Amino acid sequence: MNRRFPQVGVALILLGQLTFAAWAQEAAILHATESVDVPNQPAEFIISPIRCDQDQNILTRSPNSDGLDGGLIVKISRDGQKRIPFDSMLASLKKSRVIDFFPAQGGGLFVLVSGEKDTEQRYYILRFDADGSYQSKYLVPSPFRIQRIAAFPSGDFLVLGRKLPQPGSQTSMNSDPLVGIFDIGRQAVREVRIKGDIGPRTARGNESTRGAESGNSNADREYESALTMSSVMLGGDGNIYLTRRSPKGPVFAISAGGRVSHTIHLVPPQGAVLHSVQVGSRELAAEYREFSSDGTTVLATILELIDLHTGKVNAHFRAPLSFGSFACYQDGREFTFLLAGESGRLKIIRAVPE
């Protein structure tokens, strides 16, 4: 059963009525406690997504990797001094391309790639050990186009993507979205039904239903973006938290059994948009940004901490723009950022509230 958290609904609505400027003014400012240069890791820009494992190692796509032919994921130790590459080319797949990645238990990594098999494009999940050595691959059953993966402690995966049209179907490639559990033992994908998931118009933040007519409209484009930019992260309770990239999320807590245990509805401040979400063991950190009128310049960044189980907003903080990209949140109110420094080198910044 989905919990709507009525005990905090009024407070959230009132908070959401504040302008972004007023909210930012009230928020405590984060200050840097540590700034670490990462040696031997050029970074003219940061490629999303950024993930962290249970040991607070940072995982990011190397900007020097060729995304159209293989792809390189780099694990950077907490102190920034150790760098381990995970190279998808070690799987020897034809015309492979990295699509997503997710931390494995024990410091390893799962990498989602597309590759050619019998002249068809197929999707594989590659497994790497903590030292970057390639171990095995799993072929995701067709007919699906997979865009995001997350690993449950049980070893199964939550997969997001699209159901591909059947031969002879009049359905376009942008067919129905998929949220499913990939059972690697049975080599099968079981669909997860999500009540209250977004649709072509709800992705814009209004209350239209999923069955609304669609066409080449702004609603359709924002819906596609909300699906494509969805994020998945493992919580300390063993659930995977699926966040839709729309103004209010939502955030769905999905169990290994394929149940939605509860739903968190985000309420961004007026004038702000949801940019990213990081999940700790007890709290979710939602990053909101305010942009200039032409949408090209970030004016302010607010981080809001939300209890994973009650949906209550515990705190909100303002992050200086000079910190760069929000990378990790660790319970205890420590935030980690990645910055492409002026020297062209990657910098790790850790910050806490003042």
3-state SS track over 320-333: CHHHCEEEEEECCC
Query: What region does 160 belong to: left with phi over 0, alpha with psi -120 to 50, or beta?
Result: beta
First to last CA, the chain: 39
What was the pLDDT predicted at 7?
40
What was the pLDDT predicted at 84?
93
- The torsion defined by the Cα of 211, 213, 216 and 221, in degrees rounded to 10, comes to -30
HSE-CB for 280 with a 13 A CA cutoff: 18
What was the pLDDT predicted at 222?
77
Cβ contacts of 233 within 8 Å, gap of 6 or more: 51, 150, 240, 241, 243, 277, 278, 279
Helices (H), the chain: 6-16, 20-26, 218-228
Q: Are 272 and 20 in contact (CB under 8 A)?
A: yes
Residue 107 DSSP symbol = G
What was the pLDDT predicted at 271?
81
50-77: burial string, b at 16+ Cβ within 10 Å, e else: bbbbeeebbbbbbbebeeeebbbbbbbb
Number of other CB atoms surrounding residue 305 within 10 Å: 20
What was the pLDDT predicted at 270?
79
Q: Which residues of the chain have pLDDT under 70?
A: 1-25, 44, 63-71, 165-175, 200-219
- The torsion defined by the Cα of 141, 143, 149 and 152, in degrees rounded to 10, comes to -50
Residue 223 DSSP symbol = H
What was the pLDDT predicted at 12?
38
What was the pLDDT predicted at 3?
41
User: Tokens 């966040």 belong to which residue?
Assistant: 243
Cβ contacts of 55 within 8 Å, gap of 6 or more: 78, 107
What was the pLDDT predicted at 2?
43
**Do the bridges between strand 28-42 and strand 51-52 make them parallel or antiparallel, or are there none, so unpaired?**
unpaired
What was the pLDDT predicted at 20?
59
Nearest to 102, CA basis, from 62, 162, 59: 59
What was the pLDDT predicted at 134?
95
What was the pLDDT predicted at 338?
92
Q: Are 74 and 83 in contact (CB under 8 A)?
A: yes
| Burial class of residue 255 in the structure, from the number of CB atoms within 10 Å of its CB (0-12 exposed, 13-18 middle, 19+ buried) | middle
Q: Domains in the chain, start-ordered, CATH in brackets?
A: 6-353 (2.120.10.30)
Per-position DSSP letters for 193-207, written without gaps between them: P-TT---TTGGGTS-
Cβ contacts of 127 within 8 Å, gap of 6 or more: 104, 108, 109, 110, 134, 135, 136, 137, 138
Order the strands of the 134-140 sheet from edge to edge.
94-103, 109-117, 120-128, 134-140
**Is residue 123 helix, strand or coil?**
strand
What was the pLDDT predicted at 193?
92
Backbone angles phi, psi at 216, to 5 degrees: -85, 70
Adjacent-strand bridge partners of 287: 276, 303
How far is C-alpha 19 from the geometric centre of its chain's CA atoms? Answer: 26
What was the pLDDT predicted at 150?
97
